[in-house]
Amino acid sequence: MATPTNGRATTDDGKPLLTVRGVTLRFGGLTSLSDVDLTVARGEILAVIGPNGAGKTSLFNCLTGVYTPQEGTIEFAPPTAAGAVQLVSGSARRRRSRKPHMVNQAGIARTFQNIRLFAALSAYENVKVAAETGQRTGPVGAMLHLPHARANDRRSDATTEELLDFVGLRPVANELASSLPYGVQRRLEIARALATDPALLLLDEPAAGTNPTEKRELEQLIRQINRDLGVTVLLIEHDMRLVMSVADRVTVLSFGKVIAHGRPAEVQRDPAVIEAYLGSAEAEGER
C-alpha cells in the first residue's frame, strides 16, 4: 500500500492533532452544539459519547465542513504539515470553513452513521476510487495513458489490495458493495476512508447494526488502525463495551454541551454522565 504516512506514530505523539475551541452550532432556535471544547491528541483513540440528539454527529459535520458553526474555531495540525490548518475560523460576521474535500485533503477521513458506499461498484472499486482521489492524474492524462497516469494507477491498485487485505476483505473484492452483509460493508467503508491516507479517522457509530462477532472484529480493527497504521481515531459510538475497551479517553456530550471528559473508567462513574444517560432512558420510557 502507499502506506499511510500522515498519521504514522511519531515521537511527538500526545501533541494536539485536532483542537476544537468554543464551537457553537445553531439550527434556527435549536442549539445543537454549545461552546464545545475538545482536543484530540496525536496517536490516541478518543470516543465521543452521549444520549441520542446530544450533538455527536453535528460535531463530526462541523469538523468535516458539512456545517459551519456560528461560533468557535477548529484547528488541525497533522505531523506532516508545515503548520496548523484552520478548518473553521473567522469572526462572527465572516465565518470561514473548509469544504469537505479540502478537509479530506488536509488528512481527515470519515465513515457515516448510515453507510454511504457506492452500491453499484465492487468492494475493490469503492476503495480504488478513494485511493485515486489523492492523486493528480487529470482525465486527459488518464485517457492518453501518460506514464505518470499509469504509475498512479499502479499505486492505487497496490493501496487498494493492501487495504482490502488489512480489513480482511480481499476474498470479496469483486462483489458488489450492495450485496455484502452489513458488518462487511462497515469494514469496507473504513477501508475506503483509509485509502485517502488520513492522519485522523472519524468513525460515526461503526458498530451500529453489527452482530457480536462483528463487534469484536471491529474492536480489533480499530486498534490495528491506530497501532499499526499510526492513525489517530475519533469515534462516536453507543456501544459502551466497545468504547470502554478501545478508547484512551472519552468526551461526553449532552444537549450539545461537554459534560465530562477523561479516562473511560473515570467517565463511567461520573455522576453527571450517569444522570444524562438515566434522564434520556427515562424520557424514552415516557414515550
Ligand X SMILES: Nc1ncnc2c1ncn2[C@@H]1O[C@H](COP(=O)(O)OP(=O)(O)OP(=O)(O)O)[C@@H](O)[C@H]1O
Q: How many CB atoms lie within 10 A of CB 225?
A: 24
Taking the complex as a whole, how short is the minimal distance between the CB of residue 67 and ligand X, in angstroms? 7
Q: Binding residue for ligand X (CB under 6 A) from 30, 120, 144, 265? A: 30
| Interface region with ligand X, contact rule CB under 6 A, candidates 48-56, 144-152, 160-168, 240-248 | 48-56
Q: Are 37 and 89 in contact (CB under 8 A)?
A: no
Q: Are 128 and 148 in contact (CB under 8 A)?
A: no
Please tell me whether residue 97 adopts helix, strand or coil conformation. strand
Q: Which is nearer to ligand X, 74 or 169 (CB)?
A: 74
At CA 2, angle to CA 62 and CA 19, rounded to 5?
25
Taking the complex as a whole, how short is the minimal distance between the CB of residue 112 and ligand X, in angstroms? 11
- Closest by CA to 248, choosing from 264, 260, 234, 259, is 264
At residue 223, what are phi and psi to the nearest 5 degrees?
Answer: -60, -40
78 binds ligand X (CB under 6 A): no
Q: Binding residue for ligand X (CB under 6 A) from 4, 7, 43, 50? A: 50
Q: Binding residue for ligand X (CB under 6 A) from 40, 54, 103, 184? A: 54
Q: Which is nearer to ligand X, 32 or 104 (CB)?
A: 32
Number of residues that bind ligand X (CB under 6 A): 12
Taking the complex as a whole, how short is the minimal distance between the CB of residue 62 and ligand X, in angstroms? 10
Q: Please list every residue from 94 through 123 that binds ligand X, using CB under 6 A.
A: 113
| Interface region with ligand X, contact rule CB under 6 A, candidates 50-58, 77-85, 258-266, 269-277 | 50-58
| Interface region with ligand X, contact rule CB under 6 A, candidates 53-61, 122-130, 143-151, 217-225 | 53-61
Q: Which is nearer to ligand X, 91 or 114 (CB)?
A: 114
β-bridge mates for residue 261, sequence order: 251
β-bridge mates for residue 252, sequence order: 49, 260
Q: Binding residue for ligand X (CB under 6 A) from 6, 58, 135, 226? A: 58
At residue 193, what are phi and psi to the nearest 5 degrees?
Answer: -65, -40
Q: Which is nearer to ligand X, 49 or 195 (CB)?
A: 49
27 binds ligand X (CB under 6 A): yes
Q: Are 208 and 115 in contact (CB under 8 A)?
A: no
Q: Binding residue for ligand X (CB under 6 A) from 21, 35, 53, 141? A: 53
- Going by their DSSP bridges, the two strands 232-236 and 200-204 should be labelled as parallel
57 binds ligand X (CB under 6 A): yes
The CA dihedral of 50, 55, 58, 64, to the nearest 10 degrees, is: -50
Q: Which three cell numbers stand for residue 283?
A: 424520557
Q: Which is nearer to ligand X, 169 or 236 (CB)?
A: 236
What is the end-to-end Cα distance of the chain in Å, rounded?
50
| Interface residue list for ligand X (CB under 6 A) | 27, 30, 32, 50, 52-58, 113
